[in-house]
Amino acid sequence: MAILQVNVRPAATSRSLSPRRGGQLGEFHTRFRWGTSPATTSIQKTLNSDFSQQSAANPSSTESTDWQTIVWKLMPGTTVGRAQLSATQRLREAGSPSSSLDAQLLLAHLYGVERSWLFAHYDHELSAESADAYAELIARRARGEPIAYLVGQRDFYDLTLQVNDSVLIPRPETELLVDAALTYIARRERTVKQVKAADIGTGSGAIALAVARHAPKAHVTAVDISPAALEVARANAQALDLTERVTFCQGNLLEPLTERVHLIMANLPYVNAKDYAELDPGVRDFEPETALLGGADGLDLIRTLLAAAPDYLLPGGQILLEIGYDQRTAVTALANKVLPGRPRIDVTRDYAGHDRVVHIQMG
């Protein structure tokens, strides 16, 4: 068999599921409920046949619960094909909705190859070092850590961005904000020599860098309060050769801007306290709380930004905000209250039909 050792032991506390950082070999900790139906009995027998050791004499009984923790490792010499199949099974048991894809992506990342390489080298044997490294990646994924953090990158627009747990993982919905920004910039470039834009709460630099790539005559100032996030954003700008088109500043919201701009873009934290508590653990437990939680109603930072925006916008300027699915009415009312004149407000829906990007056109 390709499996070296699977130990079963009681899952004493939920701490066994907490993320483990660093380079040490981690064990695959996942909670598996033994059942009495024919299907689960069959699974139990299959798993037991692969165990070389068991820390509990009777895996179907514990002191306080029938939950068990499966500790999974790979034997050196396991083939690429066997490793994928075994990892897929373990991730499926851990509840991953994309277990097969996850197993492939992590093994391809380990070898620094495309996924197609795995299928062409199905019988390639993993070294002891590779087996341990793959087991660590699978263990972390089983505990819910996002794939993007495990492989250290995420595709956004037509860019590949470095990411780590200092920054929010860019979402496809945010590409709609980039689309809106590029549309505005193209229109303004007919009347001004250079469009000046600001990306507030830049994180990995996703919005700023995508706009800079596709609007080469524009200049973007990217702001974040987190030094660690700015380190990631600057690294992405360097890798994409966009350092001359984007200026990075540390500070709170609009305060670091030294001149007025035509366009303010912001994907600020907008999750309210109630929704944050109910977020998928794979998001809530791993991505930065400061990049997600926007206060009791989710609008704390949006409220502050809108109130200050008139002091930083040029005439005819525009504000683009990513918002929560249920915040259209509140943000529209807020904009009408704090912005001068009668701004024109439109909203773009995302791919699921939810309100997602607010366009505020100043007079």
Q: How are beta strands 3-10 and 67-74 bridged, if at all?
A: antiparallel
pLDDT single digits (tens) 261-318: 999 999 999 999 999 999 999 999 999 999 999 999 999 999 999 999 999 999 999 9
C-alpha–C-alpha distance, residues 320 and 347, integer Å: 10
Q: What confidence score (pLDDT) does residue 33 get? A: 36
pLDDT single digits (tens) 42-85: 333 333 333 222 233 333 333 333 434 455 788 878 999 999 99
Check if the beta carbon of residue 150 is closer than 8 Å to that of residue 140.
yes
pTM above threshold 0.85: no
Q: What confidence score (pLDDT) does residue 73 get? A: 80
Q: What confidence score (pLDDT) does residue 179 get? A: 98
Q: What confidence score (pLDDT) does residue 257 get? A: 98
C-alpha–C-alpha distance, residues 94 and 110, integer Å: 21
List Cα–Cα distances, 286 to 60, 206, 290, 292, 334, in angstroms: 32, 19, 12, 11, 31
List Cα–Cα distances, 159 to 211, 240, 242, in angstroms: 11, 8, 12
What domains sit in the chain, N to C, each tagged with a CATH number? 3-145 (no CATH), 153-361 (3.40.50.150)
Check if the beta carbon of residue 57 is closer than 8 Å to that of residue 51.
no
Check if the beta carbon of residue 120 is closer than 8 Å to that of residue 7.
no
Beta bridge pairs of residue 68: 10, 32
Q: What confidence score (pLDDT) does residue 71 get? A: 59
C-alpha–C-alpha distance, residues 146 and 160, integer Å: 16
Q: What confidence score (pLDDT) does residue 17 get? A: 29
What pLDDT tens digit does each residue of the chain (363 aa) get? 333 333 333 333 333 323 333 333 333 433 333 333 334 333 333 333 332 222 333 333 333 334 344 557 888 789 999 999 999 999 999 999 999 999 999 999 999 999 999 999 999 999 999 999 999 999 999 999 999 999 999 999 999 999 999 999 999 999 999 999 999 999 999 999 999 999 999 999 999 999 999 999 999 999 999 999 999 999 999 999 999 999 999 999 999 999 999 999 999 999 999 999 999 999 999 999 999 999 999 999 999 999 999 999 999 999 999 999 999 999 999 999 999 989 999 999 999 999 999 999 998
Write out the two tokens for 339: 């912005």
